[in-house]
A and B are shown apart, each in its own frame.
Chain A
């Protein structure tokens, strides 16, 4: 008898396991919109979603935050296993590969999309467009500028920030020679799976594209930038060698501790840099245009985070409504979620109309100069290599080459030719 019971238990378990597994996959409940994103401020995300579900009682949203460091891998794993979400966050440097893998669907023709694209900065619209089709609605954006410590510059007798790269090097030397800091420039140059934003910022700051729009290397134009990096690190020695050990967070801490006079970084960081509760240097850290080769403010690089729609969503109508709530305009014609994120956490807004909002300008003025902040948005460009399926591998090679420049293992000419060869070989490999 007991054998019989055991057999039944065993058979029961065999049946129950797939059922349990199925329950896991569909725990959101039938008809709910599955929404996934990296785990930045997940409580605030839920708070914002509650506003949506309160106004749309017929739509249930199952939100799952995923650890940032594993986000891309988990999403790829989920879609590979045919268990992807309906609406999801995407980085601008993941979007194209997800489109090519068939995970995402274009948003062209969906309600509200044209209006959003005509109301956002060009750099954000470009970052969310691939082969003429639009794949995202904006979550937040940021662009990079020169961050400098006015108090430390003042100690060296410097009153205005540098406009050209030569001027940046000279001012750094002045700070160094005045005994204020041994290495006045700090950069986040440790190898990472993400992008090395400061390199792209310097390149775009001088309007010196690394690639043409059809992904052909045009690095000769960037040679003077690489040459400057090499010289500043190994000849004038104003770039801290410890930069090779720095990722963005330790660099932020060093800036807030007054260990560097200059860095190239995102505007967003100024909010924390100038918060007296968090920073010893609050009030001293300022934002300026990116120094260029000829001293003319030419541009910068932007990053865009977006909301996307899964290609195989079974709840498209509901998902589109959620997508519009998150990345579009409300019934009052205002981008309520973008505004929500700026108010709550100071995240950069992609909508041009918010730049003129008096309340937003007042908030911006508390941590930076609103004029410089919005000017950077206007001249920003996304990396024009994001559409290449081999972008990730190229980025990794570029980071290594820049490390070699910083440590004098190579020079600008060799770096440029090595990166060109890498790009050509990657294009061939992925073709």
Chain B
């Protein structure tokens, strides 16, 4: 290649050429597996029955419409996302507002709040499993000492108990992320806005609604998108705590997908499950952007 040839390259061509190695790596490591998983989802493909492998088009997707296990897991996932999201956002906002104030020990408290985020999901599940244990759990110990319960309880043995304690463990693990994002958002609000609102005789609630909330819409959008995705994909904590039980009470769609692919080796239908999860989170994310991003742009 001569120097004159290189000079003839347009900026665009050169840009593509320079990025080609990274693009190739991304194509090989990300795009290809994603595309391949879609291709697999169009097949009847159970590793235990290789002879039965065949292209069936969208049959795997169509079968989901009357697949009771899948529909039940979708319902559980939807409720799980709703509970985790509401509790995370409300608690996250409260904690962020508290940590945004100036008081003694704020630095230590900010560091402590981050700790749960550093914990892997499996460890989080194991820790809460120990806490909720029916025979030796700390929760039972504390409540018994306080005289609130007469005997040790199996907290994860009832449908509602298992669901809410699992949701609680998930919230505990992901709450710090929400706090950090909202705290960052709070720190960007100019002090003068609050001063002006105070001069205009706005009360605490009004200042929160008219100043804080509009400025937090963008960080809130990030929180909602990422926490929705996290809650939808929640697997490790639930797997360790309840395994999806009792019955189907905590069998989320992510848990069912892992079970379908790894336990039953049904990679065809399992891939279809995974694509449906992707599609659902995509639709929810687009809806969030539509609802909050534009609104935030106008009002801020």
Q: Is A296 located at the chain interface by the 8 A CB criterion?
A: no
Q: Which of A73, A244, A399, A403 contacts B154 (CB 8 A)?
A: A244
Q: A100-B49, A389-B48, A389-B49 are in contact. Are A396 and B245 (CB under 8 A)?
A: no
Q: Which residues of B contact A229 (CB under 8 A)?
A: none
Q: A191-B243, A392-B264 are in contact. Are A241 and B154 (CB under 8 A)?
A: yes
CA distance A406 to B249 in the complex (A): 14
Q: Which of B132, B151, B247, B264 contacts A393 (CB 8 A)?
A: B264
Q: Is B135 located at the chain interface by the 8 A CB criterion?
A: yes
Q: A101-B49, A400-B245, A400-B247 are in contact. Are A242 and B157 (CB under 8 A)?
A: yes
Q: A97-B48, A101-B47, A245-B133 are in contact. Are A407 and B242 (CB under 8 A)?
A: no
Q: Which of B156, B157, B244, B251 has the most CB of A within 10 A?
A: B157
B137 to chain A, nearest CB (A): 9
Q: A191-B242, A254-B135 are in contact. Are A396 and B154 (CB under 8 A)?
A: no
CA distance A192 to B134 in the complex (A): 18
Q: Which residues of B contact A190 (CB under 8 A)?
A: 242-243, 245
CA distance A190 to B238 in the complex (A): 12
Q: Which residues of B contact A378 (CB under 8 A)?
A: none
Contact B134 A259 (CB under 8 A): no
A141 to chain B, nearest CB (A): 24
CA distance A225 to B77 in the complex (A): 33
Contact B134 A242 (CB under 8 A): yes
Q: Which residues of A contact B49 (CB under 8 A)?
A: 97, 100-101, 389, 430
A233 to chain B, nearest CB (A): 10
Q: Is A64 located at the chain interface by the 8 A CB criterion?
A: no
CA distance A190 to B240 in the complex (A): 10
Contact B245 A101 (CB under 8 A): no
Contact with B along A160-193 (1 / 0, CB 8 A): 0000000000000000000000100000001111
Q: Which residues of B contact A192 (CB under 8 A)?
A: 243
Q: Tell me the B235-280 residues at the A interface (CB within 8 Å).
A: 242-248, 251, 259, 262-265
Q: Is B159 located at the chain interface by the 8 A CB criterion?
A: yes
Q: Which residue on B lies nearest to A401, using beta carbons? A: B247
A38 to chain B, nearest CB (A): 16
Contact A240 B246 (CB under 8 A): no
Q: Which residue on A lies nearest to B132, using beta carbons? A: A245
Q: Which residue on B lies nearest to A193, using beta carbons? A: B263
Q: Is B158 located at the chain interface by the 8 A CB criterion?
A: yes
A3 to chain B, nearest CB (A): 12
Q: Which residues of A contact B264 (CB under 8 A)?
A: 392-393
B233 to chain A, nearest CB (A): 20
B39 to chain A, nearest CB (A): 16
A238 to chain B, nearest CB (A): 14
Q: Which residue on B lies nearest to A98, using beta carbons? A: B48
Contact A242 B247 (CB under 8 A): no
Q: Is A80 located at the chain interface by the 8 A CB criterion?
A: yes
Q: Which residues of A contact B262 (CB under 8 A)?
A: 73
Q: Tell me the A319-342 residues at the B interface (CB within 8 Å).
A: none
A403 to chain B, nearest CB (A): 4
Contact B247 A403 (CB under 8 A): yes
Number of interface residues of B (CB under 8 A): 30
A173 to chain B, nearest CB (A): 18
Q: Which residues of B contact A313 (CB under 8 A)?
A: none
Q: Is B105 located at the chain interface by the 8 A CB criterion?
A: no
Q: Which of A73, A80, A193, A244 contacts B246 (CB 8 A)?
A: A244
B153 to chain A, nearest CB (A): 8
Contact B135 A403 (CB under 8 A): no
Q: Is B50 located at the chain interface by the 8 A CB criterion?
A: yes
Which bracket fits the contact residues of A? 20 to 34
Q: Which residues of B contact A191 (CB under 8 A)?
A: 242-245
Q: Tell me the B141-175 residues at the A interface (CB within 8 Å).
A: 151, 154, 156-159
CA distance A201 to B254 in the complex (A): 32
Contact with B along A46-74 (1 / 0, CB 8 A): 00000000000000000000000000010
CA distance A191 to B243 in the complex (A): 5
Q: Which of B135, B158, B265 contacts A76 (CB 8 A)?
A: B265
Q: Which residue on A lies nearest to B129, using beta carbons? A: A245
CA distance A240 to B50 in the complex (A): 43
CA distance A417 to B215 in the complex (A): 56
Q: Which residues of A contact B245 (CB under 8 A)?
A: 190-191, 244, 399-400, 403
B76 to chain A, nearest CB (A): 13
Q: Which residues of A contact B47 (CB under 8 A)?
A: 76, 80, 101
Q: Which residue on B lies nearest to A247, using beta carbons? A: B243
Q: Which residues of B contact A254 (CB under 8 A)?
A: 135
Q: A100-B48, A244-B154 are in contact. Are A404 and B247 (CB under 8 A)?
A: yes
A336 to chain B, nearest CB (A): 34
Q: Which of A190, A245, A392, A396 has the most CB of B within 10 A?
A: A245
CA distance A98 to B51 in the complex (A): 12
Contact B246 A242 (CB under 8 A): no
Contact A407 B263 (CB under 8 A): no
Q: Is A29 located at the chain interface by the 8 A CB criterion?
A: no
Q: Which residue on B lies nearest to A421, using beta carbons? A: B68
Q: Which residue on B lies nearest to A244, using beta carbons? A: B157
Q: Is A409 located at the chain interface by the 8 A CB criterion?
A: yes
CA distance A403 to B154 in the complex (A): 14
Q: Which of B48, B132, B242, B264 has the most CB of A within 10 A?
A: B48
Contact A404 B246 (CB under 8 A): yes
Q: Which residues of B contact A393 (CB under 8 A)?
A: 264
Q: Which residues of B contact A97 (CB under 8 A)?
A: 48-49, 265
Contact A407 B246 (CB under 8 A): yes
Q: Which residues of B contact A392 (CB under 8 A)?
A: 263-264
Q: A190-B243, A191-B245 are in contact. Are A407 and B48 (CB under 8 A)?
A: no
Q: Which residues of B contact A242 (CB under 8 A)?
A: 134-135, 154, 157
CA distance A399 to B135 in the complex (A): 22
Q: Is A31 located at the chain interface by the 8 A CB criterion?
A: no
Chain B residues packing against A (C-beta within 8 Å): 46-51, 129, 132-135, 151, 154, 156-159, 242-248, 251, 259, 262-265
7 contacts between A and B (CB under 8 A): A190-B243, A191-B245, A400-B245, A403-B245, A407-B159, A430-B46, A430-B49
* A-B contact sample (8 more), CB < 8 A, given A101-B50, A403-B247: A101-B47, A102-B50, A190-B243, A242-B154, A389-B48, A389-B49, A407-B157, A430-B49
